[in-house]
Structure 1
Amino acid sequence: MKCLIVDYMHESIEQDLREIGVQPDYQPTITREEILSVISEYEGLIVRSKVKVDEELVAGADKLLFIGRAGAGIDNLDEKVLAEKNIAIFNAPEGNRNAVGEQCLGMLLSLMNNVVKADKEVRAFEWDREGNRGEELEGKTVAIIGYGFMGQSFAKKLKGLGVNILAYDKYKSDYGDEQVKQATMEEVYSEADVLSLHIPLTEETRSMVDYDYINQFAKKIYFINSSRGEVVPLDGVCQHMQEGKIKAAALDVLENEKLKTLTELQRKSFEYLSKSDKTILTPHIAGWSFESYERINKVLVSKIKDFLNEIQ
């Protein structure tokens, strides 16, 4: 059984696959056109984000049994087409959830204590203590939207810090405990001091957190997005920052991460955010740790192994 790997992976992936009887073909620089010409030869395919796995890509993939997505989101996979062709999908949110949780906590604390702003000022020989007076996290209410692997990891990091945690997940039930309250959106809008997104990109969630969504919050909020950029139109974020509804924002993802292809509106929003001293912008690195890089391999290979045992 052969598996084509079309993105860069931790070096352990080849040995891990061999140990379960799968022959890896590691081609991280392969182009889409080249994939189309050879995909018929493989039973497995492992991708990150480079390739859109759509009807065209798998049309001639008559041997293909599974696709492994090295990460959490599967928005670059056409689930309907793959289901019709009976091709299994495996992703690895268990592999990078800890890194996401740690990054979100770090960004939130940095926002509330003006760490990035203060660092820049000191480097420029400006010593402004009063202008960088921070807010304490203890006693605040943090709302987590989406309570899967990533949302739960962030909640785990928050426990012990004296915060109230509200979690909302439209597709889960009975997930509250003594430290995390299963909340309605009405409770989130009414009580939250912090909003953190942990939802996948789907047709339902695309552009969901827009100006009107944020406008429903009763308090001024800190805003964190480490999920998918397309969930949040940034013009709404900018407008709420100007109006004071959003105190500060930490964005690990953007609605268009190909910065050379920004539309006029996207460029205007990006320029505002990049110049603001109330933002933290990082290049989609929540979950991108050295540890998660290897752990994702272990999770994927374990799922592939279980799948192969089932069909044999």
Structure 2
Amino acid sequence: MKKLLTTAAALGLMASSTWAETVAVITPYLSQPGTQAYVEGFEAAAAEKGWDVNVIDTAGDVAAVISRLEDSVTQNVDAIVISVDPAQVNVGLLAAQEAGIPVVGMDAGSDPLIAANVTSNGYAMAAETSVYLANRIGGEGAVVMFVFDAFPPVQIRGVVADAIFGNFPDIEVLDRVTPDVSDGGIADSRAQMEAILAANPEPGSIAGVWAAWDQPALGALQAIEDAGRSDEGIVITGIDANPQARDAIAADGNFEASISQDFTGIGSTAADVVARLLAGEELRENVIYVPTELVTSANAAE
């Protein structure tokens, strides 16, 4: 009898030591520094929980996310994490729902088919940077906006900035640019800003650049510097405060402000949400915000 109990205990120990939850993390935006950071944050938190994590990058191909979702369902993963507009991958999310596999968004946008979306407060970030820019240019002048309406967390930033600038009768939105983000967004933003500068050659014809994330802000900065127009006082703001943006802000030039998102915190919080779902908890909230901070030359080096 004792031998049987010992054998059963050993088998139980083996089962507990070899079993691990499997989680698929799927995104088309892994080339973006912010996405990389919160995926890494998720992986670190998942490692502490003993999970097996498979990160799947579709390299800008949003449609391919549907196939990867369906593959993950077929592989019977325990949970799925996405960073993509849920509305664009509805078919894949339906497959996960039918299989009873919980899906959590990491800066993905809200949708009835995902249990929760963990993100920064895009409304607040856009309001803070657009008001900063409006105040810095004295409430007047032409502003260039860089937006990306195809991705809900970024789309809402543009909507809020539109509303803020619309409250200043002497601010004109000169152009609303959607850059190609396949390489991260810097190169095309630079090229488009070069064209805008060429079309508006007079000093003072452009007062500011508002970017919904840092890559377009950096591309615009490069274009302004290369055109020899840095001394015109064109004020640039971004969102994310990635390392390259922080360096540019610390240099005390045209790029003046960004918003620091806690990308690692988004990733680790998403992992905590997945853990709660796997434990059978019913979530009360479907949007979970992680705190942010305005970054200027005063704190960019911190």
Q: TM-score, normalised by structure 2?
A: 0.40
- Between structure 1 and structure 2, the one with the greater Rg is 2
Q: TM-score, normalised by structure 1?
A: 0.39
